[in-house]
């Protein structure tokens, strides 16, 4: 069996370990021939391929990024995913002699995996996103690394906040879901954690910050990039618009910080963590999770479990039907937000 591997979407720490796990198991145990497409669907469209064998994946687990490259190039040339698009992929697949796909990506990529399988092009999904917003799995690889980096940033900012008696606002990734903010905030003991799922008013936020001051401490506010203020129909917080509706560079932290300072009288500073969260060497947790995901995907290919995704379920990797996994975001539930609020104010 010849299996094609490609990565799609933003990079996520652990992608190399996932590829390595799949290749060692697939090639050495199951006897597959494996091939990687460079830069996701671009390499597929343009026939930019590399062989994947033991030598190709040597020593790559600790490395950030991904040896195959990744991109947001779409699989469907028309962008619609209609029959002509599928046929174009089918033609390529035959040309390359590829029997099946292992697709490493987020929600969009898993949807593609399902669609391809439905159209007779066998595919298995390896879920990957630092945002942890995929259903069908407890955690996705990349998330733990992102949380670690954000948590370390909180530890650093806190000392400056305490020394200067400032309120520090840290913006972390999370356009639609607040998992990184939630976990990093809990790990770092943030006094306020703001997530897209639960809008709060600036009055409430300021009250928390003042209450922390009254207890003799400085506030550390963690905010997910997708958070918006309660009642902010224009979404100016989230979209970083200035008063005239013009798009501003910078993010929600840079909108919040002056509002907090204005209402509390406490000097407040914003930091936008940005791309630093998604790069660099993965944590041990993500390396192990990714390696096992790759192994399980190779085993599922051997077993012909097409249309599934390798999800983490407790301490096991389980193959989950893609139909169950795709199409709805995994958001922060209220009970988890309540846990975080323990520390608020």
Applying CB under 8 A, does 115 fall inside the site for a copy of itself?
Answer: no
Residues 321-340 that bind a copy of itself (CB under 8 A): 339
| From 11, 39, 85, 131, active-site residue | 131
Does residue 275 have a known ligand-binding role? yes
131 in active site: yes
Does residue 65 touch a copy of itself according to CB under 8 A?
Answer: yes
Q: Select the span of 23-31, 101-109, 198-206, 227-235 touching a copy of itself (CB under 8 A).
A: 23-31
For the chain, list the strands marked E by DSSP.
Answer: 2-7, 33-37, 49-51, 100-105, 123-127, 167-172, 192-194, 220-224, 268-272, 308-313, 316-321
Q: Phi, psi at residue 144, to the nearest 5°?
A: -65, -40
Q: How far is CA 212 from CA 10, 94, 263, in A?
A: 37, 64, 14
Place of tokens 């008696």: 165
The verdict on whether residue 124 carries a ligand-binding annotation is no
Interface residue with a copy of itself among 61, 109, 117, 331 (CB under 8 A) is: 61
225 is in an annotated binding site: yes
Are the C-beta atoms of residues 275 and 195 closer than 8 Å to each other? no
In the shown chain, the binding pattern of residues 198 to 227 toward a copy of itself, with x for contact by CB under 8 A and - for none, equals: -----------------x-x----------
292 touching a copy of itself, by CB under 8 A: yes
Minimal distance in Å, beta carbon 128 to a copy of itself?
12
Question: Is 83 a binder of a copy of itself (CB under 8 A)?
Answer: no
**Closer by beta carbon to a copy of itself, 80 or else 165:** 165
129 is in an annotated binding site: yes
Helices assigned H by DSSP within 224-333: 236-239, 252-264, 284-303, 322-325
Choose which of 66, 116, 260, 320 interacts with a copy of itself (CB under 8 A).
Answer: 66
Residues 247-266 touching a copy of itself, rule: CB under 8 A, are 248-250, 254
- In angstroms, the CA 139 to CA 14 distance is 13
166, 160 contact by CB (below 8 A): yes
């Amino acid at each position: 069996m010849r299996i094609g591997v490609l990565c799609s979407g933003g990079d996520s720490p652990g992608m190399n370990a996932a590829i390595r796990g799949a290749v060692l198991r697939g090639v050495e145990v199951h006897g597959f021939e494996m091939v990687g497409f460079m830069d996701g669907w671009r390499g597929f469209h343009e026939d930019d391929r590399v062989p994947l064998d033991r030598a190709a994946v040597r020593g790559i687990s600790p490395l950030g990024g991904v040896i195959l490259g990744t991109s947001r190039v779409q699989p469907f040339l028309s962008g619609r995913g209609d029959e002509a698009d599928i046929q174009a992929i089918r033609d390529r697949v035959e040309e390359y002699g590829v029997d099946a796909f292992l697709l490493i990506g987020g929600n969009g990529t898993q949807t593609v995996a399902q669609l391809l399988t439905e159209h007779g092009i066998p595919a298995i999904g390896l879920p990957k996103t630092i945002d942890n917003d995929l259903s069908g799995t407890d955690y996705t690889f990349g998330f733990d690394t992102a949380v670690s980096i954000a948590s370390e940033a909180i530890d650093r900012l806190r000392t400056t906040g305490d020394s200067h008696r400032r309120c520090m606002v840290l913006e972390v990734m999370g356009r639609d879901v607040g998992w990184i903010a939630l976990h990093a905030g809990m790990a770092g003991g943030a006094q306020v954690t703001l997530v897209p799922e639960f809008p709060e008013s600036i009055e409430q936020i300021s009250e928390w910050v003042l209450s922390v001051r009254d207890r003799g401490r400085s506030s550390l506010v963690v905010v997910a990039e997708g958070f918006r203020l309660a009642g902010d129909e224009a979404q100016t917080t989230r979209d970083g618009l200035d008063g005239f509706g013009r798009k501003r560079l910078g993010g929600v932290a840079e909108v919040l910080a002056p509002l907090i300072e204005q209402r509390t009288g406490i000097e407040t500073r914003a930091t936008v963590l940005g791309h630093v969260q998604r790069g660099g060497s993965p944590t041990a947790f993500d390396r192990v999770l990714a390696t096992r995901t790759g192994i399980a995907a190779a085993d599922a290919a051997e077993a012909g479990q097409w249309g599934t995704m390798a999800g983490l379920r407790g301490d096991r990797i389980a193959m989950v039907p893609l139909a169950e996994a795709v199409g709805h975001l995994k958001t922060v539930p209220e009970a988890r937000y309540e846990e975080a609020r323990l520390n608020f104010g």
